[in-house]
Structure 1
């Protein structure tokens, strides 16, 4: 599953893609098995993080969840998710009840893309 073949399978590549496949390949040293593993891990972790975020009331825990998700997103090249996390972190520090719908949408988009990549 080379980055170019993954992009063809998904039908989306380039700057509009939710995952930067070149960054993913770079971060996994071109190891295709590792790429698949980290994509599965991100999909699972991001979904559980969103669930925890929706149910968590402690602001410091909520900030930690968003911060951790930001790092995970950067590691796989999910730039939009990382950007939304960073913006949300800033808003949460100013207004603790900040809405997370934008984050949910960005994660859903990335996870749909990952699902399509892995299904191909």
Structure 2
């Protein structure tokens, strides 16, 4: 039995595959579509889990010490890269390097809020 190619499966539904790759958006939908092979339900589930993780990190990181901030930022950075939230990932890398930077904490909180708002908008 012949199976459809990955390209056909991944791009048979509307979503990120109809967008140009963009690091300007809070989530690069093209990257996300590739990661989920175009499965819209999986995209929504992954985004929901990421928003929950990001909100949890946002709540915890302010009261964490420098070592804990590095740990939290590192974990979120990997998840952010996985879904295409590249701005969050980049800021997390900076937080890892400078865990006591209050400016970094504010930037991270804003980036997390941007992703949350973006996900809420595309799920309407």
TM-score (normalised: structure 2): 0.79
Aligned residues: 109
Give the structure 2 partner of residue 105 of structure 1: 110
Q: Distance in 2 between matches of 1:103 and 1:31?
A: 29
Q: Partner residue of 2:75?
A: 68
Are 1:85 and 2:92 counterparts?
yes
In structure 2, the CA distance between the partners of 1:48 and 1:22, relative to structure 1 (3 Å rule), is same
Query: Per-residue deviation at 1:6?
Result: 8.4
Do residues 114 (structure 1) and 122 (structure 2) align?
A: no
The residue aligned with 2:14 is 2
Are the counterparts in 2 of residues 6 and 117 from structure 1 also a CA contact under 8 Å? Answer: no
Instruction: Compare the two structures and name the one with the higher helix fraction.
Output: 1
Structure 1 runs (4+) greater than 3 angstroms displaced: 4-7
1:28 aligns with 2:32: no
Q: CA RMSD in A?
A: 1.9
**Which structure has the larger Rg?**
2
Which of 27, 31, 46 is equivalent to 1:38? 46
